[in-house]
Amino acid sequence: MKTQSKISHWYTKRDLARRYGVHTRSIERWSESGAFPRGTQFPNGRWFWSDLEIEQHEQGLVGGGAA
């Protein structure tokens, strides 16, 4: 039985842009096109991505699946 993981970190657009070596606008475009997780908009209007969704997305890329 697989246990459910808990979110331990939230990434900002800037964090993800640094992680992938791109501009923050690239993260926005990828999210808008569906090529990247949509993220979660917090009440302050800023978008954040959980470590769980980023890890799942990256595993899909490495495994050859559509992420």
The verdict on residue 2 lying in a domain is no
Write out the E strands in 3-55: 10-11, 40-41, 47-50
Residue 65 has pLDDT above 60, yes or no: no
Q: Look at 6 and 5; give whichever has higher pLDDT.
A: 6
The verdict on residue 17 lying in a domain is yes
The verdict on residue 45 lying in a domain is yes
The verdict on residue 15 lying in a domain is yes
Q: Is the pTM of this model over 0.85?
A: no
Domain count for the chain: 1
Q: What is the pLDDT of residue 54?
A: 96
Quick one: average pLDDT of 35-43? 96
Quick one: average pLDDT of 14-36? 97
The verdict on residue 1 lying in a domain is no
What residue numbers bound the domain in which 53 lies? 10-62
Between CA 24 and CA 47, with CA 33 as vertex, the angle to 5 degrees is 45
